[in-house]
A and B are shown apart, each in its own frame.
Chain A
């Protein structure tokens, strides 16, 4: 019953977002952004509503959502840390620092800590190669992300 209630809520809110944005040229990505903004993720129950609204098949919407890693299928932690794993950051020891941070937080890639405080995700280049290793915390980029920075970040996200 509870679940059903959530689904109706998702459907109604998604429908409103679709109604607002469907006139755009190429409206699917903006709609998905707003849906993620609304729910913190893109709930599965939203996809048929979007498909119906844009006259697409469910498969097509699923194909697009699953293509982009940034669309989540479940809510993230309160903070989202993205660590760059691309070449420049790797060459500046990014992997070691990433490992250290994960250890401090007690989670693995793509996981959310059990207290819901933080999610860690890999990212492939933040365009900050000159200041590698780079990270992104809740949308803000951080350069020269070293061991100390990792330690203080691990502490900060927990408080």
Chain B
């Protein structure tokens, strides 16, 4: 009560009492110190528990102090702010942990030997061997999937933006949206059900087909957004010069948005490069090098990670290989992401007049 009165006098009578600017930091510091002290005193060995105690102290401390000085509405506001910050920290923790563990454990066996040799006859529990066959398999399957999925996706987007009116376009839009949500394993089962009819053995291209199905809706979505950004004046100018519509699309619309389309395709490639489930069903895995995606089982990086984890019965050598392959895969995906974003920024279509 008295603090409120004092603070009110110091500033202005029109403004309610408020905590000084540094108070949140002070409360954070205080609750961390208290949390550690309580943790040490009670002999809790888990750092997570220390963190939880500090977090609870912070939230309740903020509410208590703010409610006393500023009133309950301000106190609620401060609690909401701190909860939002806590949520942010919670989301960052697993990401940091995942990146840190993958890098620190992945570099153990990740070297030129690992990237250029395959498992071959090396037992899963033994050290040695590498992911060469898996990398080859991944590149071939993802490459073929992109060759199928990207053109179909881009053409569909062109149809939806440049031509699409009426029921067909509406239903294509809806089913593209729904298709985005198909679980990857269902795409795998679809190709598998066809293979079962024709009694086919697993091979790389079957995996590519499933990956292409997963890729198409993603490409359609992103290309559509990019085509919509192309200013209508450009189309009208070209059409007014007597250029036929298809040449307008090929020479004006697509070149204008090519940066964004490339970005979308690369992000889609990054997404399917990490898919394991359809590859597990359709490509089966192979410790030996198989360069032919149209015949015989192949391997792929995500599948290699899974099989090293699952078939190794806890052998450390296999876990090391799994982490090294994870690091390779994450590096590949992240580089694709970064390059895609770079292209997007570099080639962003100039809208505005």
A binds B: no
